[in-house]
């Protein structure tokens, strides 16, 4: 039994001391900066906090779900920022879809044996990824800006596809009133499908031969879609159910939820400590805990205690906010259902031109403004070159023996691709692909260079108006972190499902 070293030479103590020293230095620095900022703000007469969010915006937006202030629909600051966020998400979503399609096409072409195809794909990739995105966006802006002005007979296909300086217009397909009921009905229909597929797959495994799993699924789905399309008002009763769920939720006193949160935090910390203790259990008994282990347990317990106290005692607003938003969510869902809503799930409208001296495009169609289009084109072409490389790398990462083995087993080329190569390539492709999706979302912020009203541009307009830089930047950071967290959550889920199950 060796002697314990004195406390000032104990490595565990020193390590933790150093860590806490750095942590407190960093926190202290933050505190210093924050207090300095607060003082500076006060001196300039800028109120702290977020109260300005509910004030009127006093400016117009370029485009989005709401652009101007009107008596029936006020454009508050928060509403303007929300419009910016929706614009960002719109560009990001469309960009993700288009650049995936283009990127996969280019990536596969680059692997093609055809000389012209792979040279074209290589040239595309090298050109697009070596020219800065911002240069590309501005290039598209210049190109689209020199399109022909809008006229009564504009467009490659007048009435359907109109390309002009005002933007690119296509027919608008939108979710009509019956959509939510339609989706609910499809979900109901999906339950038997799951059982049918399971039975058929089992039979396929037992008996062999073709038990028509795919064709049965397709037939079932098309029939149920058809039925749901016409019979969806049946699901109207869900509205009442959801409303009563909302009432029931709101009836729970906030104290109970608050207590539950506290218990949850403590329980979580307890689980961590227990798992640590379990990891120290050996077949012969409990291992001696090191000082480091004690520190870790103490720190976990301390942090959990602080968090629980904050939630329960010092910041009751967190729980109240949570309770309110969940309740609102239920009643929001309830309003989406309900009797008497139109039966049609999806509807469409053609783009039309306004009459008068200055021809304009009315918003019956879906119009992509020049700003939107140049940002989108830049993003899609730039990112698809990266996605192409990701796809190519993923396919090349599948060992050649796999495809040879599949062919030797008598798979057709299509089966080989679908069942052997692509699933394995997908595993390699997915994580970097998720990264590219994140990049698209972040790069929408370059829309500011062409004056597209995305979140950063709207935020800039806001803080130029009211000097609330600190608050606006906190909103930026929260928004983009939320986006990246949700994208990486989706990618991680898919990844986990695709991962090879190790025996």
Partner 1 sequence: MTTVINANVSSQKSWFKWVRDNLFSSVAGTIQTFAFAALVVVVLRWLLGVAFAEKNDWTAVATNMRLLVSYNYPLSQFIRIWVAAGVLLVCAAASLGAWRFDPALTVKRMARTFYSVAVVAALCALLMPSSAPGVLVRTLWLVSTVLAIAGFAASAVASKRNNLTVSFGALLTSSVVGLLAILWFVPFGNYGVVGGSPFANPGDTVARSTKEPWTVIFTLVLFTFWASRALGTKTVAIVRSALLAFWLVGPAFLIFVVLRDPAFDWQRVWAVDVPLAAGFAFGGGLLVYLLAKPTRSSLARLVGVALSAFAILNWVAGFFGWYGMLQKVRISMLLLAILVLILPAFAGSQSKRLRIAVAWGGFILVLHWLITAINTPSTLVISAPPFLGGFTLTFAISYYVVLASFPLGVLLALARTSDLPLFRMMSTAYIEVFRGVPLITILFLFTVMLPLFLPRGMAVSDLAAVFAGYSIFSAAYLAENVRGGLQSVRQGQYEAANALGLTVFQRTLLIVLPQGLRVSIPNLVGQGIATLKETSLIAIIGGFDLLRIANSTIPNQPQFLGQKRPGLLFIAMVYFILAYTMSKSSQRLERRLDAGRM
**Binding residues vs partner 1 (CB under 8 A):** 15-16, 18-20, 22-23, 26, 32-33, 36-37, 40-41, 109, 112-117, 120, 126-127, 129-136, 138-139, 142-143, 296, 299, 442-443, 445-446, 448-449, 456, 460, 463, 469-470, 473, 476-477, 480-481, 484-485
- Our CB check for partner 1 shows the closer of 27 and 219 to be 27
Please work out, in degrees rounded to the nearest 5, the angle formed at the alpha carbon of residue 153 by the alpha carbons of 150 and 157: 100
Smallest separation (angstroms) from partner 1 to the CB of 115: 4
Smallest separation (angstroms) from partner 1 to the CB of 264: 21
- Our CB check for partner 1 shows the closer of 16 and 411 to be 16
Q: 15: how many CB neighbours lie within 10 A of its CB?
A: 13
- Our CB check for partner 1 shows the closer of 89 and 213 to be 89
- DSSP character for 358? S
Question: CA-CA distance, 266 to 374, in Å (whole number)?
Answer: 51
Smallest separation (angstroms) from partner 1 to the CB of 214: 24
- Our CB check for partner 1 shows the closer of 217 and 469 to be 469
User: Contact 375/444 with Cβ under 8 angstroms?
Assistant: yes
- Our CB check for partner 1 shows the closer of 311 and 487 to be 487
3-state secondary structure 369-391: CHHHHHHHHHHHHHHHHHHHHHH
Question: 32 exposed, middle or buried (CB, 10 Å; 0-12, 13-18, 19+)?
Answer: exposed
Smallest separation (angstroms) from partner 1 to the CB of 68: 26
Smallest separation (angstroms) from partner 1 to the CB of 110: 12
Question: CA-CA distance, 166 to 363, in Å (whole number)?
Answer: 12
Smallest separation (angstroms) from partner 1 to the CB of 18: 8
Smallest separation (angstroms) from partner 1 to the CB of 412: 15
User: Contact 99/76 with Cβ under 8 angstroms?
Assistant: no
User: Contact 366/351 with Cβ under 8 angstroms?
Assistant: yes
Collect all residues with Cβ–Cβ distance below 8 Å to 102 and sequence separation of at least 6. Answer: 380, 381, 384, 387, 388
Q: In sequence order, what are the beta bridge partners of 173?
A: 348
- Our CB check for partner 1 shows the closer of 146 and 210 to be 146
Name the residue among 366, 358, 379, 351 with its Cα closest to residue 447. 379
- Our CB check for partner 1 shows the closer of 75 and 85 to be 85
Smallest separation (angstroms) from partner 1 to the CB of 213: 29
- Our CB check for partner 1 shows the closer of 20 and 174 to be 20
Q: DSSP of 440-497, one letter per residue?
A: HHHHGGGGGGTT---HHHHHHHHHHHH--HHHHHHHHHHHHHHHHHHHHHHHHHHHHH
């Amino acid at each position: 039994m060796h002697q314990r070293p004195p406390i000032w030479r104990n490595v565990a103590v020193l390590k933790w001391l150093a860590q806490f020293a750095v942590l407190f230095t960093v926190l202290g620095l933050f505190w210093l900066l924050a207090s300095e900022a607060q003082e500076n703000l006060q001196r300039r007469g800028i109120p702290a906090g977020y109260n300005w969010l509910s004030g009127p915006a006093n400016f117009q937006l370029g485009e989005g779900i709401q652009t101007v202030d009107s008596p029936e629909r006020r454009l508050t600051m928060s509403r303007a920022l929300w419009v910016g966020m929706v614009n960002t998400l719109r560009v990001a979503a469309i960009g993700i879809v288009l650049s995936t399609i283009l990127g996969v096409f280019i990536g596969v072409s680059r692997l093609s044996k055809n000389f012209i195809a792979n040279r074209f794909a290589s040239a595309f990739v090298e050109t697009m990824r070596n020219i800065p995105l911002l240069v590309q966006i501005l290039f598209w802006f210049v190109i689209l800006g020199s399109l022909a002005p809008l006229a009564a007979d504009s467009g490659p296909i007048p009435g359907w596809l109109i390309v002009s300086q005002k933007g690119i217009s296509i027919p608008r397909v939108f979710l009509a009133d019956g959509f939510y009921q339609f989706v609910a009905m499809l979900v109901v229909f999906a339950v038997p499908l799951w059982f049918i597929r399971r039975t058929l797959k089992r039979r396929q495994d037992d008996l062999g031969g073709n038990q028509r799993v795919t064709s049965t699924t397709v037939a079932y789905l098309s029939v149920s879609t058809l039925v749901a399309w016409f019979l969806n008002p049946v699901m109207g009763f869900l509205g009442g159910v959801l409303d009563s769920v909302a009432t029931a939720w709101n009836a729970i006193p906030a104290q109970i939820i608050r207590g539950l949160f506290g218990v949850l935090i403590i329980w979580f910390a307890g689980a961590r400590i227990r798992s640590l203790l379990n990891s120290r259990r050996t077949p012969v008994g409990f291992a001696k805990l090191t000082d480091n282990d004690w520190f870790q347990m103490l720190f976990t317990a301390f942090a959990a205690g602080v968090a629980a106290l904050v939630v329960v005692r010092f910041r009751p607003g967190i729980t109240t906010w949570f309770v309110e938003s969940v309740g609102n969510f239920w009643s929001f869902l309830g309003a989406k259902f309900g009797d008497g809503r139109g039966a049609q799930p999806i509807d469409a409208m053609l783009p039309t031109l306004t009459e008068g001296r200055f021809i304009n495009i009315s918003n019956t169609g879906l119009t992509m403004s020049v700003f939107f289009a140049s940002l989108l084109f830049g993003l899609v072409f730039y990112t698809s070159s990266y996605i192409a490389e990701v796809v190519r790398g993923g396919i090349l990462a599948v060992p050649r023996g796999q495809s040879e083995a599949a062919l030797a087993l008598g798979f057709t080329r299509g089966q080989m691709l679908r069942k052997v190569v692509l699933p394995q390539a997908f595993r390699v492709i997915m994580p970097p692909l998720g990264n590219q999706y994140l990049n698209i979302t972040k790069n929408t912020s370059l829309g500011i260079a062409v004056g597209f009203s995305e979140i950063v541009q709207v935020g800039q307009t806001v803080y130029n108006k009211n000097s609330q830089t600190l608050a606006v930047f906190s909103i930026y950071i929260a928004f983009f972190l939320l986006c990246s967290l949700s994208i990486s959550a989706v990618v991680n889920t898919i990844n986990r499902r695709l991962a090879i199950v190790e025996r």
